[in-house]
Structure 1
Amino acid sequence: MFGKTRDESENSEDFPSKNVGVAGCQGSFIDFKEFNITVNGFSVDSMVTENMRRKYYELCLARNTYLHHGLLKSINHIFATGIILETTTIADYIRGCKLSTSDDDFAMWDKRLNVLEVSGMNVGFLRSRLSYLVSLATKTRQIPESKRYAEAKLERGCMEQEIQSLKPRLRELKQATRKLEIEMDVLEAKIQIYERTFEEEANSPWSRDPRK
C-alpha cells in the first residue's frame, strides 16, 4: 500500500537541538524569529499564516533542513507555497489520526505525500511515520478487544437506527395517552360525585331506612 521513501532508513529525533543550523539551505535558523521561508529568492512569509509558518518551522527544525530546499527549480514560489502548506496540513492530519481513521484516509495522505516527494519536497519522514502508523493500526484492529468493540459499536448503531424508526410510533402512543388522560380526568370527576353520594349513604344515620 505504501511505497518506500527516500529517508525511510533515517533514525533522527523529532526535535533536535534548536542550536543546530540548517545545512544546505539559504540561511539558517536557531529560533522561530529567525525562520524565513524563501523560494527561488522570493520570501513567501506573507503568503503563510503565522500558525502554519510555526508548524512548518517545527517540521523543518525536526529534520534540520528546509523541507522545500529540494523542490524542482521549475516550480515557482506561488506553487511552492502551496506545496509547503499541503505538507504542513498532511503532517497535522498524521499527528491527529486515530485508530478509527479509515484506511482510505491513510491511503489518500500517502498518495498526496508521494506527489509532494516527486516534486522534490522532503516528506520521506512523514511517509515513514504514516506507513508505521498504518501497520500499527492494522495489527491493533486485529486484537480481540478491538474486534469486539467494532462489533459492539455496529450493534449500537443498529439499535439507535431502530429507536429512530420507532419514534413516530412512540409519538402516536404519547398523543393517544394524553387523550386518554384527558378523558380519564373527566370521568374521574363524575366518579368522585358518585363516590361522595355512596359514602353519604353509607354514613347516614342508622335510623334512616333507605328502602323507604
Structure 2
Amino acid sequence: MEGQDFEHPLQDNPEENIENDNTRAYVTDHGPVSAHSENESEDLGSEILDEIRSSESVVDFKEVNSFEDFNILVNGLVISSELSKRLQIKYYELCCSQKRFLHDHLVECLNCKLDVGMIAETINIADAIKVSTVTTLQDSFKKWEKTLKAFQGLGMNVGFLLARLEQQKNL
C-alpha cells in the first residue's frame, strides 16, 4: 500500500461509468458510488427533511432562557433534531458562554447537513481544546486551527475558540 493515495476525487471516466435508467454509478479507488436518479434524489431529500422543520420566527439569543427554549435555526430551518441531545446541550452551553448563537451568520447557500457537521465539529474541537495539555501534539493544534478558520470563513462565530487555542499552543 506504500505510495498509494487514498484521497482521490470521484473518477468520472466514461469507460468506468455504469449507466442504467438515469442512475449512474461512479467507480472510485474505494469501490462504486451510486448517483441516484432525479426521482430517487427527491425521495431521499424528503427523508432528510422529515426531521428538519421550517420556522417562520427568528429568535434572538436574549430570548433563550433555558435549553428548552433553544432551537438551532439556520436559513429558516430548525435543524436541532439532526444533532443528538448530548450535542444539542453542549452546543447550547457553547452559545451561552458567548451569549449568542454561534451559527447566526452562516453562509445562506450551505447545505443543512454541512451546517450540522460544522456545529458538531465545533463542539468536538471545543472539547478537545478544553482537555488539551502541554503534551498535545502541535499537529492537532494546527488541524483544529485550520478547521476553525475555515468555519469562521463560512460564518461560524468561533473566534473565542481560536483565541483559546492560541493560549493552549503557547503553554
TM beyond 0.5: yes
- Cα distance in 2 for residues equivalent to 1:63 and 1:113: 16
Question: How much does 1:86 deviate?
Answer: 1.1
Give 1:60's aligned residue.
Answer: 95
Query: Structure 1 residue 43: deviation in Å?
Result: 1.1
Please tell me whether the aligned partners of residues 68 and 121 of structure 1 are also in contact (alpha carbons under 8 angstroms): yes
Runs of 4+ off more than 6 Å: none
Once the two structures are superposed, the pairs formed by residues 41-120 of structure 1 within 5 Å of their partners are 41-120=76-155
- Superposed CA deviations along residues 147-206 of structure 1, whole A, max 9, x for unmatched, are xxxxxxxxxxxxxxxxxxxxxxxxxxxxxxxxxxxxxxxxxxxxxxxxxxxxxxxxxxxx
Instruction: Report the counterpart of residue 132 of structure 1 in structure 2.
Output: 167
User: Sequence identity of aligned pairs in percent?
Assistant: 38
1:43-80, CA deviations, whole angstroms, 9 ceiling, x for partnerless residues? 11111001110000001001111000011111132211
Secondary structure in structure 1 of the residue aligned to 2:106:
coil
Q: Which has the higher contact order (CA 8 A, sep 6+)?
A: 1
CA distance in 2 between partners of 1:26 and 1:39 (Å)? 11
Cα displacement (A) at 1:84 = 0.7
Instruction: Please say if 1:35 is aligned against 2:70.
Output: yes
The corresponding residue for 2:59 is 26
Number of equivalences: 112
Inter-partner Cα distance in structure 2 for 1:44 and 1:118: 21
| Cα-to-partner distance string for 1:76-96 (whole Å, 9 max, x where unaligned) | 322111111111111011011
Query: Which AA in structure 1 matches 2:81?
Result: S
Per the normalisation by structure 2, the TM-score is 0.63
The alignment's C-alpha RMSD in Å is 1.2
How far did 1:112 drift? 0.7
- Hey, what's the Cα distance between the residues in 2 that align with 1:104 and 1:72? 28
Question: 1:131, CA displacement in angstroms?
Answer: 0.3
Within-5 A mapping of 1:138-149? none
For residues 86 and 30 of structure 1, what CA distance do their matches in structure 2 show? 25
Structure having the higher strand fraction is 2
The residue aligned with 2:42 is none
TM-score of the pair, normalised by structure 1: 0.51
